[in-house]
């Protein structure tokens, strides 16, 4: 970490505009937030409020022909805006892991899960092929994926979206990045697997000190896992702060409305002390 900052992620005046025939249309108003090592920042807000766009902007995955962006994103004090596309490709994966809503997009259909898993590990670490396969098998097993040996031989289209989601998380677990961007990581999963994934994310931050940006519609998940929260509405941050503060004393009318419609099922399961039978 660069001297002078104890923040893994610093986002300042981050703004995104859509290029259209009618001119630039603002999609994200200038955003500002920071995240310390080992902390989880939840991003909540209704559909279309700008959560995914924020994640894509941090990862520098916006299409330059479609979008214009400005502002600063720093990772451990390093301004990502100054890096070349090649440098950013190295950063993505090793230093910023990502778990996106549509896992199919993260895989190439013509290569097996195993070859993509091993290739990713070996691109970012100095381990042998055999060690990479062993790590992959252990990581897949820890994600409650059945028969990891067979799974490695399958192609992405041969397994469900939920399984692919867990494969992506397993890859991130192996790479132990300082920052993980998880955009609705449990949306495609059933309740048992949602809990498994959330526990693995929690383990990643406690054991590896990974900081996590966690986007979720589920306020129960955010209140249980996140340390701080950003509430977005129409491309703006309307409120941000420590989870307890925002959930106990929401100041903004929109946050109050979100909390009134808060689901409780996952919270109850997650906070239950009874171990889940897997
Ligand atoms: N490629 C694009 N072209 C045009 N508009 C876009 C594009 N991507 C996002 N937007 C617009 O930007 C706004 C924010 O979208 P974003 O996907 O970030 O929302 P979100 O909060 O993640 O929603 P959801 O919870 O449904 O994923 C929306 O109004 C969306 O229509």
Dihedral of alpha carbons 107, 171, 179, 262, sign: positive
C-beta of 48 in contact with ligand 1 (< 6 A): yes
C-beta of 2 in contact with ligand 1 (< 6 A): no
Mean pLDDT, range 119-123, rounded to an integer? 90
50 CA to centre of ligand 1 in angstroms: 6
Which residue's CA is the nearest one to ligand 1's atom 12? 27
Is residue 129 domain-resident?
Answer: yes
Is residue 211 domain-resident?
Answer: yes
71 CA to centre of ligand 1 in angstroms: 19
The span from the CA of 224 to the CA of 14, in Å, is 27
User: Which ipTM score applies to this complex?
Assistant: 0.96
Is residue 126 domain-resident?
Answer: yes
C-beta of 49 in contact with ligand 1 (< 6 A): yes
Question: pLDDT-based confidence at 276, cuts 50/70/90?
Answer: very low
Question: pLDDT-based confidence at 265, cuts 50/70/90?
Answer: very low
Is residue 55 domain-resident?
Answer: no
Is residue 86 domain-resident?
Answer: yes
Give the pLDDT confidence score for residue 266 in this predicted structure: 45
Residue from 48, 61, 184, 221 whose mutation best tests the ligand 1 pocket (most atoms within 8 A of CB)? 48
What is the domain extent for residue 85?
Answer: 7-50+68-229+244-271
Between the CA of residue 38 and those of 8, 29, 42, 76, 185, what are the distances in Å? 9, 27, 13, 13, 18
Mean pLDDT score of the chain, rounded to an integer?
Answer: 88
Which residue's CA is the nearest one to ligand 1's atom 17? 52
Which residue's CA is the nearest one to ligand 1's atom 19? 48
Residue 46, phi-psi category: left (phi > 0), alpha (psi -120 to 50), beta (remainder): beta
**pTM of structure:** 0.87
The span from the CA of 212 to the CA of 29, in Å, is 22
Atom of ligand 1 nearest to the CA of 56: 18
Atom of ligand 1 nearest to the CA of 45: 21
Is residue 76 domain-resident?
Answer: yes
23 CA to centre of ligand 1 in angstroms: 18
Render pLDDT for 221-249 as a digit per residue (tens, 0 to 9).
899 899 999 999 999 999 999 999 999 99
Q: Per-residue pLDDT for 250 more than 90?
A: yes
191: domain CATH number is 3.40.50.300
Is residue 239 domain-resident?
Answer: no
CA nearest neighbour of 254 among 235, 271, 238? 238
* Structural domain count, the chain: 1
C-beta of 27 in contact with ligand 1 (< 6 A): yes
Atom of ligand 1 nearest to the CA of 53: 18
Which residue's CA is the nearest one to ligand 1's atom 4? 18
Is residue 60 domain-resident?
Answer: no
Residue from 25, 47, 52 whose mutation best tests the ligand 1 pocket (most atoms within 8 A of CB)? 52
CA nearest neighbour of 140 among 120, 113, 179? 113
């Amino acid at each position: 970490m660069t001297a002078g900052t104890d923040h893994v992620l610093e986002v300042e005046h981050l703004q995104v505009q859509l290029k259209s025939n009618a001119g630039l249309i603002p999609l994200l108003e200038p955003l500002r937030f920071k995240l310390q090592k080992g902390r989880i920042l939840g991003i909540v807000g209704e559909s279309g409020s700008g959560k995914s766009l924020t994640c894509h902007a941090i990862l520098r995955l916006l299409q330059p022909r479609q979008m214009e962006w400005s502002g600063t994103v720093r990772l451990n004090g390093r301004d990502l805006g100054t890096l070349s596309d090649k440098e950013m490709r190295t950063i993505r994966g090793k230093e910023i892991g990502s778990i996106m809503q549509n896992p199919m997009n993260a895989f190439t259909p013509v290569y097996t899960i195993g070859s993509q898993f091993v290739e990713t590990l070996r691109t970012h670490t100095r381990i042998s092929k055999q060690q990479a396969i062993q790590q992959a098998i252990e990581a897949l097993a820890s994600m409650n994926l059945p028969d990891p040996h067979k799974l490695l031989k399958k192609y992405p289209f041969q397994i469900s979206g939920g399984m692919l989601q867990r494969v992506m998380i397993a890859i991130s677990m192996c790479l132990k990045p300082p920052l993980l961007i998880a955009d609705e990581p449990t949306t495609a999963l059933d309740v048992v697997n949602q809990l498994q994934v959330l526990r693995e994310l929690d383990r990643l931050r406690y054991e590896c000190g990974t900081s996590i940006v966690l986007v979720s519609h589920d306020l129960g998940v955010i209140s249980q896992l996140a340390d701080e929260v950003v509430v977005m509405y129409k491309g703006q941050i309307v409120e941000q702060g420590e989870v307890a503060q925002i959930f106990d004393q929401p100041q903004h009318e929109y946050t109050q409305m979100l909390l009134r419609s808060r689901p409780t099922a996952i919270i109850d399961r997650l906070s239950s002390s009874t171990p889940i039978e897997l």
